């Protein structure tokens, strides 16, 4: 009796052992590779990386958040999304302070204003939390890296589209958001390129659209009242093109103007499709999110330019990642709708 019990135990143990080998056959192989080589870039699911926006309801952030989330999934870390709900620097500072208090593995933030956040960003960095800026930078802060559009170049491309559509002559107006670095640079790129390459186009007005559809609509109406012969608009921001389009639709068909929009929210795309907006500029939003997390992960794990701390200003990470611009017209607009 005792003997047969032993046989059963022996048999069971052998079976379990074989099952175990069979089940872990693949990891065993990987284990061998790790000993020889590397287990790749893999994080800890407990590590939280936080993305911080403002006007957090904006459609615009969705693809950036998707890129951030995709990178988090790839690297096996946890993404978190926070933001100021309003267009309010103080609210964004408060949100950032709350995040710093929880010591996350990294923070990717888009600055509502190129200076207002510097002190708080530097506070995070002094506390050892990696910070990168995306979409709208804060060049005076201690953050190592900015990921976004080369905004001056985007404005220049918008100017060339305007020049082409206006046959090189006429009057242009810009609707923008003053005091936000990306919008200032787009405005400058547009204005300087018009001046340099289209001597017969004059910019009659640079107006504040307040970052909202309503504000941009009102600004467009005011410009058309003041300059009825304005040939068209450049909107430096997602809501701008849509707001201008609404103003034009409301004012009737005789008000046909050139509209160069920015970004690819549904409202803008619909207006590209129906011809109200001639051209919109698509930013590399997914890349902003994805590579923001990638840079933060590298800094958190110290995989950066060797000895950069001793080099008085050497860059541990690339200081700028240009995520690119694509021209969207009626010909390729269908591809830009969210799938």
Nearer to a copy of itself, 181 or 282 (CB): 282
CB of 95 to a copy of itself, least distance (A): 27
Which of 109, 259, 260, 321 is the binder for a copy of itself (CB under 8 A)? 321
19 is a contact residue toward a copy of itself (CB under 8 A)? no
Shortest CB 327 distance to a copy of itself, Å: 7
Here the tokens at position 113 are: 């204003």
Cβ atoms 321, 298 nearer than 8 A: no
What is the Cβ-side half-sphere exposure of residue 112, based on CA atoms within 13 angstroms? 24
142 binds a copy of itself (CB under 8 A): no
Q: How many CA atoms lie within 13 A of 182 on its CB side?
A: 22
Region from 102-110, 131-139, 240-248, 286-294 binding a copy of itself, contact rule CB under 8 A: 286-294
**Closest residue by Cα to residue 132 from 323, 271, 326, 307:** 323
Q: Is 14 in the site for a copy of itself (CB under 8 A)?
A: yes
Pick 45 or 119: Cβ nearer a copy of itself: 45
Give min distance, CB of 175 to a copy of itself, in A: 25
CB environment 201-213: b (16+ within 10 A), e (fewer): bebebbbebbbbb
Task: Kindly tell me which residue out of 132, 201, 260, 294 binds a copy of itself, with binding defined by CB under 8 A.
Answer: 294
Task: Report the nearest approach of a copy of itself to the CB of residue 269 (Å).
Answer: 12
**Inter-residue long-range contacts of 129-132, CB under 8 Å, 24+ positions, other chains counted:** 129/100, 129/103, 129/104, 129/105, 130/105, 130/106, 130/295, 130/296, 130/299, 130/300, 131/106, 131/107, 131/296, 132/106, 132/107, 132/108, 132/292, 132/295, 132/296, 132/317
Question: Burial, 326: exposed, middle or buried (Cβ in 10 Å; 0-12, 13-18, 19+)?
Answer: middle
Does 28 bind a copy of itself (CB under 8 A)? Our answer is: yes
Instruction: Please state the closest distance from residue 10 (CB atom) to a copy of itself, in A.
Output: 5
Give the residues lining the site for a copy of itself (CB under 8 A). 2-3, 6-7, 9-10, 13-14, 16-17, 20, 24, 27-28, 30-31, 33, 36-43, 45, 66-67, 70, 73-76, 147, 150, 282, 284, 286-287, 290-291, 294, 303, 305-307, 310-315, 317-324, 326-327, 331-332, 335-336, 339
């Amino acid at each position: 009796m005792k003997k047969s019990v032993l046989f059963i135990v022996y048999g069971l143990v052998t079976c379990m052992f074989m099952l175990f080998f069979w089940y872990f056959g693949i990891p065993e192989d990987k284990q061998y590779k790790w000993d020889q080589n590397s287990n790749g870039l893999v994080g800890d699911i407990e590590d939280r990386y936080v993305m911080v926006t403002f006007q957090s309801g904006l459609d615009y952030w969705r693809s950036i958040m998707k890129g951030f989330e995709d990178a988090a999934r790839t690297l096996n870390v946890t993404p978190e999304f926070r933001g100021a709900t309003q267009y309010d620097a103080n609210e964004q500072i408060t949100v950032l302070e709350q995040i710093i208090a929880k010591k996350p593995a990294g923070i990717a933030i888009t600055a509502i204003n190129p200076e207002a956040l510097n002190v708080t960003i530097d506070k995070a960095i002094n506390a050892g939390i990696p910070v990168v800026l995306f979409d709208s930078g804060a060049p005076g802060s201690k953050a190592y890296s900015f990921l976004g559009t080369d905004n001056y170049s985007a404005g220049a491309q918008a100017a060339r589209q305007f020049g082409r559509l206006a046959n090189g002559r006429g009057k242009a107006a810009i609707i923008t958001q003053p005091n936000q670095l990306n919008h200032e640079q787009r405005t400058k790129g547009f204005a300087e390129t018009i001046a340099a390459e289209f001597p017969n186009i004059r910019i009659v007005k640079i107006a504040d659209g307040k970052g909202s559809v309503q504000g941009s609509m009102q600004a467009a109406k005011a410009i058309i009242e003041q300059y009825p012969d304005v040939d068209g608009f450049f909107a430096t921001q997602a809501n701008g093109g849509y707001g201008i389009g609404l103003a034009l639709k409301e004012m009737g068909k005789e008000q046909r103007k050139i509209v160069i929009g920015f970004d690819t929210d549904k409202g803008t795309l619909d207006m590209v499709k129906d011809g109200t907006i001639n051209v919109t500029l698509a930013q590399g939003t997914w890349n902003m999110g994805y590579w923001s997390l990638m840079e933060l992960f590298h800094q958190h794990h110290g995989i950066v330019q060797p000895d950069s701390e001793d080099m008085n200003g050497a860059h541990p990470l690339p200081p700028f990642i240009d995520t690119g611009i694509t021209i969207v017209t009626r010909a390729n607009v269908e591809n830009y709708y969210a799938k």
